[in-house]
Structure 1
Amino acid sequence: MLENQYGITVDEYVKLDTYDALRGNGWLYLISKPTGKEEEDIAELEKIAEHLRNYGDQNVPVFLPSKEGHLITEWEKNKYCVLANRQIEEHKKIKLGRKLAKFHERGRKVPFQIERSSRIGQWKSLWEKRLEQMEKVWNDLLFQTPEHEFQRMFIDSFPYYLGLTENAIQYLVDTEIDDNPLETDSGTVCHERFTQKTWGPLNNYMIKNPFDWVFDHRSRDIAEWTRERYLRNSQTYDVELKHFFEEYQSIAPLSPFSWRLLYSRLIFPLHYFECIESYYITTSEQDQKVMEEKLTRILRQSGDYERFLAGFYQLTDAPIKRLNLPLLEWLY
């Protein structure tokens, strides 16, 4: 495909995590499927990528146009995009908090209107929509005998997570009413779900894949990194969390608006929603079993999660009094 559609010859194939990649001429070529994305979406992502590269980010790949000049190419009845990155190997341990803050600072300077991938100001409506969909499924199940353990756990636990979601929405709404965003709160390039592994390094390559991006408030990425770290190891996350927040704020201190938005996102039980949704979307029994185990774990740790939320501001040294950050009374 590379030779035929792009006129590129390569030396070897490398498997990088979930990507198919090829190496040649000092470049690494990532082959991605533009799942659910149109040519316009890709064009917008390419403009963002170009902006970030111009501001000095060497880990952002280039979208290669095919010989015909298209960003999406068809090959053997499939659609593909090709991303090219200079082969720079990363061996040193990176300070992810600092890197993310710099990434957000570059992303904030995007000089054009982002339309297709923007999530700015949409959290409330997206959360309400997810809640309504789940409540509908729950209501339908209420009058049936649970067929399996997962259903029983879902029926029992949903009212609690409904309450938690309403708390998150209320905290978000209050933030938008009470607090004025600062200039640093303007939209930036974020990720669908930013975690420790989002940028790699994969086989010593650090890659910032445009297919992961959405345009949103910086607190989205910080909150999702925090959630993943906490859920990965609820016993030893605290030291990592402290470091990450120190690193991030050494580049970009968080405003009161940022802290509160971040906290509302942590209250929103995204991990619970994703687990239930994944269970009902999949047809594979094996995947359902994995989701059942995951839900058991989430429910077992719900008390721990409350304690985590209760201590979050203190743990990250957020200036609670100075910035007048509201606490959730019932957590204490």
Structure 2
Amino acid sequence: MLQKMLETQYGITAQEQIKLDRFDALTGNGWLYIISKPLGREEEDLTELEKISRHLRDYGDQNAPMFLQSKDGKFVTTWEQTQYCVLANRKVEQQKRMKLGRKLARFHERGRQVPFQVERSSRIGQWKGLWEKRLEQMEKVWNGLLFQTPENEFEQLFIESFPYYMGLTENAIQYLVDTEIDIEPSETDNGTVCHERFNQKTWASNPYFIKNPFDWVFDHRSRDLAEWTRERYFHNNQTYDVDVKGFFDEYQSISPLSPFSWRLLYSRLIFPLHYFECIENYYSTQSEQGRKLLEEQLGKIIRQSSEYEKFLAGFYPVSGAPIHLLNLPQLEWLYQ
């Protein structure tokens, strides 16, 4: 069906259909064609992402795919009452020993050179407002539960744990605000192409190496560094430190972090995104099985809260941040 769509709408013949993580893809003539639904994105959003992708390719990134235009010149095509976008990239196999830190630093360096104003996918300077909004929404739900009997174990856990995570969120916001007041950003702190949630597997759509524009947002580079670190910690909280040290060494061999970058990164790690996402996912999930899994996840998050505090207390030393040289503030209560 997708082969026919590609041939009819784009004039491209593909041989084989494969699955790449959450996407369908087709291969043909040494090319990979990734089929995506626009997921509520408008033509203007796609035009901006296409311009960013073209810029990265022009600056030497061979893994930034092209947005293909259909025969009628649009980035979105309708086929059998469903909308699709098609991305094209040369088939590039995964490298066995890829230095992800160096590759991400180069990606960010290219992204900083974007020669036009990015508007639709920009998150620059928005963290404080977004965090406050999420906190406010969650506090409303929590207040609504306070004066009634909890319906289940999840609600009981949420009611008991929220004040602690509200305090952690306020710490993150304060650390962020202090950073913006205390420090003048350097040129390397300009916005760049980042990802919603960058992790070890973001570019590894086995067996191919792909940088998917639908993952991109325009933000400060510390977003990607923080989310990669968070995912590594939760992947294995016993051995994450070796990965983190190596990754930051690699990244900084290309692009050293400024005091502003370190502090922004740290504020993002303090923000308990894992807790927020667990609660938000629970209330937006209809499936009973899904809710049960999220209840177990919340219990685990709460049980491991003191471990997460140790992770926050140790992050600067583990990552090799020059704490004294750059005068990086610590959260004093973590050491009491």
Candidates 318, 324, 327, aligned match of 1:315: 318
Deviates more, 1:89-98 or 1:211-220: 89-98
Candidates 166, 178, 181, aligned match of 1:177: 181
Cα distance in 2 for partners of 1:106, 1:132 equals 36
Cα distance in 1 for partners of 2:93, 2:311 equals 37
Deviation of 1:297 (Å):
1.1
Partner of 1:93: 97
What are the within-5 Å matches in structure 2 for residues 54-65 of structure 1?
A: 54-65=58-69
The alignment status of 1:290 with 2:298, answered yes or no, reads no
Determine helix, strand or coil for the equivalent of 1:159: helix
The alignment status of 1:236 with 2:265, answered yes or no, reads no
Determine helix, strand or coil for the equivalent of 1:320: coil
Cα distance in 1 for partners of 2:234, 2:54 equals 34
Determine helix, strand or coil for the equivalent of 1:318: coil
Deviation of 1:90 (Å):
2.5
Partner of 1:188: 192
Partner of 2:27: 23
Partner of 2:127: 123
Cα distance in 2 for partners of 1:85, 1:289 equals 40
Deviation of 1:128 (Å):
0.2
Determine helix, strand or coil for the equivalent of 1:94: coil
Cα distance in 1 for partners of 2:226, 2:206 equals 27
Partner of 2:42: 38
What are the within-5 Å matches in structure 2 for residues 1-332 of structure 1?
A: 1-200=5-204, 202-332=205-335
Deviation of 1:244 (Å):
0.4
Tell me the C-alpha RMSD between the 2 structures. 0.7
Determine helix, strand or coil for the equivalent of 1:323: coil
Deviation of 1:77 (Å):
1.3
**Does the aligned pair in 2 maintain the 1:91–1:204 contact within 8 Å?**
no
Cα distance in 2 for partners of 1:203, 1:143 equals 49
Determine helix, strand or coil for the equivalent of 2:275: helix
Deviation of 1:4 (Å):
1.0
Deviation of 1:91 (Å):
3.4
Deviation of 1:217 (Å):
0.1
Determine helix, strand or coil for the equivalent of 1:322: coil
Supply the AA of the counterpart residue of 2:252: Q
Supply the AA of the counterpart residue of 1:235: Q
Supply the AA of the counterpart residue of 1:284: S
Cα distance in 2 for partners of 1:203, 1:267 equals 32
Supply the AA of the counterpart residue of 1:32: S
Determine helix, strand or coil for the equivalent of 1:85: strand
TM-score, with structure 1 as normaliser: 0.99
Supply the AA of the counterpart residue of 1:254: L
> Where do 5+ consecutive residues of structure 1 fail to align?
none
Determine helix, strand or coil for the equivalent of 1:21: strand
TM-score, with structure 2 as normaliser: 0.98
Deviation of 1:92 (Å):
2.7
> Where do 5+ consecutive residues of structure 2 fail to align?
none
Deviation of 1:75 (Å):
1.1
Cα distance in 1 for partners of 2:279, 2:171 equals 19
Deviation of 1:139 (Å):
0.2
